[in-house]
Structure formats: C-alpha cells, structure tokens
Structure 1
C-alpha cells in the first residue's frame, strides 16, 4: 500500500499506469476509490497518482486540518515521488486544492484541469447546499442527504445513482459526522481568487450546465482570471461530468493533456 508522511500525517495514494505523471485529486467526503473508473481509463495514457486527501479514504484522519495542509500534502507528494513536473487535475474540492498547488509551485504544474471548480467560498459547496435545504435534509445521513439533493446537483440521475451505489459498496465516502465536519472546516473561507492570475500552467476548466453546487458561470469567471485557460461546459452534466458524460470527459481531458 503506497503511503508517505506529510507534516506528520500518513497519506495514501494510488499509483497506476505509465507515462507522464498525472496527479488526480478527488472531491470532499470522497477518496481515490470514488474516481476508480476515471483512473482505470486515464492510466492507459498516463501514470495516474491519485491521492487520498488527509481526513479522507485510507489516509490518516486528524481532527483538524486546513486547505493549506491539503495544498502542502500535494507538494510533498511531488517531493516524495521526485516529480520535477506533472499534470494536475482536481474535481470539486480537488480543484480548489489544485489551484493552491498551481499558485504555490508554478514551475512544477505543466498542465492543469479544474473540474466543477470555484476559487473561493465560506465552506464546501456541499455544506452550503445542505444549509440551504436544512429543513428538507434534517436527520438524514450523509448518503441520504446527497441522494435527496440529486435534483439540485446532477442531470444524468441514473448514472450518478449507479456510481453512488458503487461508492457506498466500496466504502469510498466519509460516514462519520465528526470527519465530515473536519472536512468542511478545512475549507472555511478559502480564497485563491487573487492568485489565479499567477498560474502559468495551461489550464482547462470544466463545468456542468445543471450544477447547483458550482454552476458554470462560476467556472467561466474563474477561467477568465487564469492567463492561459480554456473553459468548457458539459451540457448534459451537473456536478459530476466524469460520471454523467464519461466518454466526453475522458476524450476532452486526454486530448487536452496529450
């Protein structure tokens, strides 16, 4: 099981495939298991390094951490694997972390893919959604809250429901309330907006038309702040383009990184 120590915390990562390295960062409450289908496709083209963020998956779960810790963990993964440069892709929370990395180590991120991103927020987009619909979601588990919120988050419900059942079977998501709360607190007040103009990596921003968490207008505005960025809207997706339009997602990402 590949692990390393980052600032005193043991972190797990997947290492699949061969070729130019692609560091792949999952979303909040998830893990590398949550993106295993995407990894299986992308490893045909790249050496895919999928980190379980601290507090998530098979990584150690401290009671308190920050987005700065997440960013440093990715940089430390670069150090651990002796990567001079790599492609970097993040989905949702992973896209927030990826922005921080691309700003902090400009010369080490060759290309950057930000999927359903935002550049700043009071907390996680998921928590903001749960707060907006607190009465409707009161007393439900995380899995039940997400399932009940599908109409606000996704377009292709069938594909997402199937993937969601798979995540649950793989124990891919956080289940303990205190771990979910720690994950939310780590994003409190994060803000990379002012640093976007510093990013030197060629960047692709992907948003989904029906995304009620980080809608496409946010992704488009973010892309406009990065000097060498392209914006792409998936018209049949919400917050999970890689699940809702998987063939197009793999095609666009591999074409961009090729």
Structure 2
C-alpha cells in the first residue's frame, strides 16, 4: 500500500474484529507475528512496517505526524471505520497519538510496555542502569560493539545482545532476542534518532496529560513486571486516562507476550470483548 507515494508493507491474519498492531523501535520492523498467532481466534490482526523500516520503502520523512498519517493510510485500506489498536513500546506512543488525533476511529486502545507521558523522561537513567545490569556477562562485548562502526554481522550481534536485556529469563534471553532478529532486516538509525528526538520535544512542549484526560475510549495498559524500563513511568498516563485499566504480567519483561503468553492473551481477549 502507499501513502504520499511511500510503499508500506502490511499483512493481515486471523478471524474476528480487526485489530491494528504498531511495532516499536523506532527504526525497527514488525516483530508482532507471535501476537497475531496468540490472538488468531479473537481478532483479525493487521501488522505493518513503519516507513523506512523492514519491508516498507526506506525513505522519509521520519516524524510523528508522518507516522500517524501512515497509520491512517493502513487503517483506510485494511481496518475499517472503527477498530481496536495495539501498540508496543514506541508503537504504544504512536497508537496513543493516533487515538488522540482520531478518537472516532479507535474502539479500544491497548498500550503495551510504553514509557508514559512525563515530559522529563525520568525513566531513562533507570533504563540505562538496568540495561547494563541485565546484560551481565555480555556487557563488555555490547560496550565494545557500541563504541565502534559495526559491520552488518556485528550490527545484528549488537542488537541481539541489547534486546536480550528485554527478557526476564536469563537462560532464554539470547534465544528470544535472536528470534526477534530473524529475519534480519536492518535497523534504520536515522529514523530512530529523528523520532526519539521528536518524542522528547513533544512531551516537553505539549500537555499530553490534558489530551489524555479528554480521550473517551477504553484503554488497557499492559506491563511486564520485569521490564528494565521502570513501570512507574506510566503511572501519570494511567491517572490521566478516564477509562483505563492496568494489567501487570508476572515473570515477563518488555515483550510480555513472549514470557507470559497465556495471561497476555487472556487480558487482551477479555478487554476486546468489553
């Protein structure tokens, strides 16, 4: 599909009411196929690669407004007039922004492992400290790769090491991260830097809490209790939303459907039936 002549990859699967999925990053590609499989009896899921990423055309501009418009194009072609929306990590922020701008189009919002709306981003130093702690014996190699220009093979190795910190089970973390990196479609660092900088500016300049208070739709916030991003960062968002519920999944990190799939599926399916 296309928006402003930029080709966007998308795929749908499953049966039931439509549910649009927004992957995280920014600068990554869709890795939410396991979510599709978990929910295949409950929803027709629609996945897509954000512009410049994965199987979508590698071209800008990279910015929040442009990504919201791209999501709207996916919506028009595949979703329907009023549809549920799930976003993970950076994709949770994108989904929230879409719901704020197009509340009439969103029936349910599922905010998975996001990092909240606080303007000072006070969670980030805690994340960096927890990342280094979780990397454990892999810290030296990760630091060495972080400090230099990487070959394509080293770039994948660096990503797998970093992503391994997003899982609570140390014994399985590298395996889970390697599956995320397969197939390896390459990180768009230009996209990541541009969008992350804009998110930081947006939160410091806008009153997203007031926008969230005006949002009149049901919201489910899902966290993994072992996420290295501190979950108190999402408290102010939870308080600002008029109709929200929060579920914390034990034994799960940043990708809670991987390490606690049963409770993740139950929480999302129950919420979508409401």
User: Normalised by the shorter chain, which TM-score bucket?
Assistant: 0.7 to 0.9
* 1:156 maps onto 2:154 in alignment: no
CA contact (8 A) 2:225 2:253 kept: yes
CA distance in 1, matches of 2:125, 2:196: 10
SS at match of 2:8: strand
* 1:13 maps onto 2:10 in alignment: yes
Aligned residues between the structures:
248
Partner of 1:144: 157
Deviations 1:221-249 (A, max 9, x none): 32111110011112212211111212211
CA contact (8 A) 1:31 1:56 kept: yes
CA distance in 2, matches of 1:8, 1:128: 40
Within the candidate set 184, 190, 201, 1:171 is matched to: 184
Within the candidate set 194, 202, 214, 1:198 is matched to: 214
Within the candidate set 181, 184, 206, 2:190 is matched to: 181
* Offset of residue 143 of structure 1: 3.6
* Offset of residue 155 of structure 1: 1.1
* 1:57 maps onto 2:54 in alignment: yes
Within the candidate set 20, 23, 30, 2:28 is matched to: 30
- 1:210-221 superposed matches below 5 A: 210-213=226-229, 215-221=230-236
Larger radius of gyration: 2
SS at match of 2:9: strand
1:160/1:113 CA distance change after superposition, 3 Å: farther
Partner of 1:255: 270
SS at match of 2:21: strand
* Offset of residue 31 of structure 1: 2.3
CA RMSD, 1 decimal: 2.9
CA contact (8 A) 2:21 2:48 kept: yes
Partner of 2:243: 228
The gaps in structure 1 that reach 5 residues or longer are none
SS at match of 1:23: strand
Partner of 1:66: 63
The gaps in structure 2 that reach 5 residues or longer are 133-138
Deviations 1:1-54 (A, max 9, x none): xxx11123111111112221100111114323x121211221221111111111
Single out whichever of 193-202 and 142-151 deviates more from structure 2: 142-151
CA distance in 1, matches of 2:244, 2:234: 11
* 1:243 maps onto 2:258 in alignment: yes
